[in-house]
Amino acid sequence: MISAENRKKLEKLNNNRVVEIVEMAVDLCKPEKVTVITDSPEDIAYVRQLALKKGEEKKLAIEGHTYHFDGYYDQARDKEHTKYLLAEYEDLGLDINWIERDKGLDEILSYLDGSMEGKEMLVRFFSLGPNNSVFSLPALQITDSAYVAHSEDILYRPGYENFKSLQGSDQFFYFLHSAGRLDEKGNSKDVDKRRIYIDLQENRVLTVNNQYAGNSVGLKKLAFRLAIKKASMEGWLAEHMFITGVHGPDDRVTYFTGAFPSACGKTSTAMIPGQTIVGDDIAYLKIIDGVVRAVNVERGIFGIIQDVNPEDDPVIYKALTTPREMIFSNVLIKDGKPYWLGMGQELPEEGINFSGEWYKGKKGPDGKEVPPAHKNARYTIRISDLENCDPRYDDPEGVPIKGVVYGGRDSDTSVPVAETLSWSHGVFTGACLESETTAATLGKEGERKHNPMANLDFLAIPIGTYIENHLKFGKEAEETPRIFAVNYFLKENGTGRYLNGMLDKKIWMLWMEGRVNGEFAAIKTPIGYIPKYDDLKGLFKEHLDKEYTEEDYEEQFTIRINNYLAKFERMEEIYSDIAGIPEEFMKELKAQKERLIAAREQYKTEEISPFEFADELSA
């Protein structure tokens, strides 16, 4: 089944385990043809051309742009059918989706059996993290989708040569994917048999009967789960975090990582005007010579395109509308041009989208009106194609991290920015991260979802172990990063008016940058260190040309004692029922509540103005 030419490419790796995996996949999936792709430009170009030839992608009017449609019922991550294969149930301290390993393997292997008949199998090699780096994790991808393989060329570094340096080791992740049987549109036909199974025992992911990248591109969130397990065993961190370079005075650049649940400002924080981006989604953090350093696992962005417009997202919008290699998925196409929801211009009333020929008012097979573009429509682009790409985005040594940011959507409690009192208090704060749902996209408005470190969906280890790993990590560094909490969604009581402007996050980040570099004193409060009014006033004037009043400051930074106490009572209820939570974490919880209660008694009020704390300054 494997031609002499392609077998030779495998043999050059001198890795028997790779050959075994490929042969297993060939015997199981029974492809008509097997093509091994190296790092050569010719091989990589072949994949893109194959995606066009098969019709998985089609060209747009702008040079280098293509579009892809997933099936009508294959438009997002399938959480229900994404499961861990476990020999027996493991209590992770939270609800996980799992299936008994032998049973799960029997099921998914039966679906993969013959799934590539009449199709071409692509064998790919990638590096998770920069090439030739202590952060790098080799990854082998086997797929029958040229769209998936092309997406990975944009999102990840080539890794064929890296596999040679393994010297026969089996220490790599691997991913087997098949779109399965295809319908007349070229989409996965048997979506009722869509399965995404994560095998921690074998460091692999098996996925079938899907094309949407969140289910099919194994190197993304599926590999992330494997990396979290590996990081826990080896003493580093794999996190759902952006990495950004914040630019201070005299050309100083300070690097931060940050974790935010969905719809809480993660991407917009990574893309703040005037700052530079290293990564927007997943980071590996290691301590090297006493310094916490981080790399972006990816080299591209698989981003939600809804609401990307020239006013709010000028850098991304420019990249989406100028020539370069990139893929649009599940948008509306009219006369060779892509359209998406919230793009800042009127959309056509007809065109082609994920439902086929589309017209305004069209009903789908489920009886629901089909929108012009899907709300989860995406763009796939290299970070190096963005004007704000940080020069060190591909640095094999990573970038030094001076600050970690946790953000959630909170209408009535958390101040816009605060520095935590210590590393352990910061870990506690991250583990208590909550986010309110929104009526438009996430269900009942105002419902609070607990999402520790914005990583709840991807944890592959017990939550107690995960928190303990964080507590240990910061203490082992000679230069421990400071941890901050942000909230862009605080509202005025009664009116529902947002107290933060859309651009204010730039000021909060610049304050953090100055803070970690010793430029700003701060006010100590029960929940952490908050900015001084005069410092914020100066930053707003200098960077936004905006008058920041004492009234603004007092509204935003008043400590709402009872609301904070209610939050930490929710956390106590959650964590008291979980085995294995570190004692240090529970001490932080107790101390946090005691500080709030003591402040309420001292100031004789439930809401304490930041000016009341003004004499409690910290360097």
Predicted pLDDT at 501:
87
Nearest one of 43, 171, 35 to 116, comparing CA atoms: 35
Are 158 and 149 in contact by the 8 Å Cβ rule? The answer is no
Distance CA 597, CA 414 (A): 16
Predicted pLDDT at 446:
67
Q: Which residue has the tokens 């008016």?
A: 497
DSSP 304-315: E-TT--TTT-HH
Give the bridge partners for 295, in sequence order.
Answer: 284
Predicted pLDDT at 92:
79
* Mean pLDDT value of segment 361-383: 95
Predicted pLDDT at 325:
98
- Helical ranges in 130-264 per DSSP H: 146-155, 160-164, 213-216, 221-234
User: What is the number of other CB atoms lying within 10 angstroms of the CB of residue 617?
Assistant: 12
pLDDT over 70 for what percent of the chain? Answer: 98
389 is catalytic: no
Give the bridge partners for 285, in sequence order.
Answer: 237, 294
Is 27's pLDDT higher than 80?
A: yes
Nearest one of 399, 383, 381, 391 to 133, comparing CA atoms: 399
Nearest one of 299, 34, 48 to 159, comparing CA atoms: 299
Q: What SS3 class is residue 179?
A: coil
Gyration radius of the chain's alpha carbons: 25
Distance CA 58, CA 150 (A): 13
- The pLDDT tens digits for 246-258 are 999 999 999 999 9
What torsion do the CA atoms of 526, 530, 532, 533 make, to the nearest 10 degrees?
-100
Nearest one of 192, 238, 179, 205 to 78, comparing CA atoms: 192
- The pLDDT tens digits for 47-81 are 999 999 999 999 999 999 999 999 999 999 999 99
User: What is the number of other CB atoms lying within 10 angstroms of the CB of residue 120?
Assistant: 16
Least confident among 77-81, 164-168, 310-314: 310-314
Predicted pLDDT at 600:
97
* Mean pLDDT value of segment 386-391: 96
Identity at 73, one-letter amino acid code = Y
- The pLDDT tens digits for 428-478 are 999 999 998 764 444 455 688 999 999 998 999 999 999 999 999 999 999
Distance CA 299, CA 392 (A): 12
* Mean pLDDT value of segment 270-298: 96
Q: What is the pTM of this model?
A: 0.95
Predicted pLDDT at 267:
85
Give the bridge partners for 207, in sequence order.
Answer: 177, 196
**All domains of the chain, ordered by start, with CATH?**
4-55+77-233 (3.40.449.10), 238-298+393-618 (3.90.228.20), 302-385 (2.170.8.10)
φ, ψ dihedrals at 242, nearest 5°? -80, 165
Distance CA 25, CA 138 (A): 18
Q: For residue 350, give the H/E element and its range.
A: strand 350-353
φ, ψ dihedrals at 608, nearest 5°? -105, 120
- How would you classify the pairing of strands 65-68 and 326-329? parallel
Q: Which of 29, 264, 389, 432 is catalytic?
A: 264
DSSP 481-495: PEEEEE-S--B-TTT
Are 141 and 124 in contact by the 8 Å Cβ rule? The answer is yes
Distance CA 450, CA 458 (A): 14
* Mean pLDDT value of segment 606-610: 96
Q: For residue 44, give the H/E element and its range.
A: helix 41-54
Distance CA 232, CA 209 (A): 31
* Mean pLDDT value of segment 267-296: 95
Predicted pLDDT at 1:
74
Predicted pLDDT at 313:
87
Q: What SS3 class is residue 348?
A: coil
Res. 616 pLDDT band, cuts 50 70 90: low
CA 114 to chain centre: 33
* Mean pLDDT value of segment 10-29: 97
Residue 42 tokens read as 């010719």
Instruction: Give ∠ CA 447-457-228 in degrees, rounded to 5.
Output: 145
Instruction: Give ∠ CA 288-291-294 in degrees, rounded to 5.
Output: 75
- The pLDDT tens digits for 560-584 are 999 999 999 999 999 998 999 999 9
Least confident among 321-330, 443-452, 532-541: 443-452
- The pLDDT tens digits for 112-146 are 999 999 999 999 999 999 999 999 999 999 999 99
Predicted pLDDT at 317:
94
Predicted pLDDT at 441:
40
Are 595 and 608 in contact by the 8 Å Cβ rule? The answer is no
CA 62 to chain centre: 28
Average pLDDT, the chain: 94
Res. 407 pLDDT band, cuts 50 70 90: very high
